Amino acid sequence: MPFPIDPEALTTEWLTRTLRDAGAIQSAKVTAFQTRELSQAKGMAARYILISLSYDTPKSDAPRSLFAKFPRPNWAEKGDQMGTFDRESHFYRHLADRVVLRVPRCYYNALDETGFLLLLEDLSPARCGDRVAGCSFEQAELAVAQVAGMHAAWWMHPDLSNPDLVVQPDLDVFQTYAGMYSESARAFMEKAGHLIPTGVSEVVERIGDYFMPIVLYTFQEPPLTFIHADYHLDNLFFATPEGGTPFAVIDWHQGQQGQGPYDIGYFLCRSFPPGDRKAWERKLLETYYARLIEGGVEDYPFNRCWHDYQFSQLLNLMRIVMIIGDDMMGPDQKNLFYDILMPRSCAAALELNAVDLVDKLTRQ
């Protein structure tokens, strides 16, 4: 059945039929709706649309609003090449009820050659975090403990190797990016080299020789688990004084097997000013590790967990270099990357001894 490929194509008839097919409404009919696009700085690949609904009859259990995800026009082809939309569509079909974490209910999930659309539960009055502003230590600890529970449940799980269930890392795509990295790094240094510390410049220039070893360690070196791989505050929901689910996670377009501490490194590096990250990271890693052990993880000493957390900053830095170097930023995201995410990634790379990690790769 054809589906709307952009918010402008939504109709009351389509929304009524879709919600009935999903079991969200029975005899009620959507008579009117309003759409509001959320901040374009939220994501590179997708448009996030809040849909407010009106019905012909009052139904207390009918959703009053929905959350829709469409591809951005400039990302439709690129997202398809990277598997961005395929991963998230696959996640809601096969994994959403198995990840332990609370995720939005999915009312509609479509992906074909014409486009991509997810219609999801609006988690209000819970509210998503803000990676620019950061959050409290208590919220950070909750986020770390929650994802640790998922990691523990999937730790070396046999289903990780089942390609019909878990989307596997696309090594051909990574190999393509490895070939592009030197040009991306050159462009990055031209655009932002004057803004980054000398020690980070060295890592940026040297890391391209180890692009694939870094990728292979992150996504294929045991022990592996299922990771979110885009775990930052903008993708996490917390309860508010008005209520709502205590915690939930959205945007599963990068969900795949990988090193568990990669999610923690990404979360701390992308969500907090360097001062907070540096002050909190040891305690939060201890919380994460304790939750792994409680979840049954064995033969994984804390010093290995800390190493894998440090190692995550190499891939984090590589991603920043390529996004800025190749102008992959979404609308209104330039300031976010130049003023917030790049300085945070640089600080983490320096303070967590990324140069030493590259030196170890050189000696291997």
179 and 105 in a common domain: no
Burial of 104 (0-12, 13-18, 19+ CB in 10 A): buried
Angle subtended by helix axes 302-325 and 198-206, to nearest 10: 90
The pLDDT, as a whole number, for residue 74 is 62
80 and 158 in a common domain: no
Is residue 15 very low, low, confident or very high in pLDDT (cuts 50, 70, 90)?
very high
Residue 3 CB coordination number (10 Å)? 18
What is the pLDDT averaged over residues 82-96?
A: 87
Is residue 364 very low, low, confident or very high in pLDDT (cuts 50, 70, 90)?
low
Residue 16 within a domain: yes
Is residue 81 very low, low, confident or very high in pLDDT (cuts 50, 70, 90)?
very low
- Encode pLDDT of 114-151 as tens digits: 789 999 999 999 999 999 999 999 999 999 999 999 99
The pLDDT, as a whole number, for residue 27 is 87
123 or 112: which leads in pLDDT: 123
- The separation between CA 341 and the C-alpha centre of its own chain, rounded to angstroms, equals 14
113 and 157 in a common domain: no
The pLDDT, as a whole number, for residue 44 is 64
Domain containing residue 90: CATH number: 3.30.200.20
What is the β-pairing status of strands 256-258 and 106-112?
unpaired
168 and 112 in a common domain: no
6 or 143: which leads in pLDDT: 143
Residue 339 within a domain: yes
User: At 24, which amino acid appears?
Assistant: A
Residue 75 within a domain: yes
The pLDDT, as a whole number, for residue 192 is 94
Domain count, the chain: 2
Is residue 79 very low, low, confident or very high in pLDDT (cuts 50, 70, 90)?
very low
215 or 75: which leads in pLDDT: 215
Q: Which residues contact 82 (CB under 8 A, 6 or more apart)?
A: 170, 173
Burial of 241 (0-12, 13-18, 19+ CB in 10 A): exposed
Q: Which domain holds residue 109?
A: 10-121
Domain containing residue 312: CATH number: 3.90.1200.10
Query: Residue 76 pLDDT more than 60?
Result: no
Task: Extract the tokens encoding 80.
Answer: 């398809």
Is residue 333 very low, low, confident or very high in pLDDT (cuts 50, 70, 90)?
confident
217 and 203 in a common domain: yes
283 and 213 in a common domain: yes
The pLDDT, as a whole number, for residue 330 is 72
Q: Could you tell me the sign of the dihedral formed by the alpha carbons of 234, 235, 236, 237, in that order?
A: positive
220 and 95 in a common domain: no
71, 106, 121: which is the final residue of a domain? 121
65 and 83 in a common domain: yes
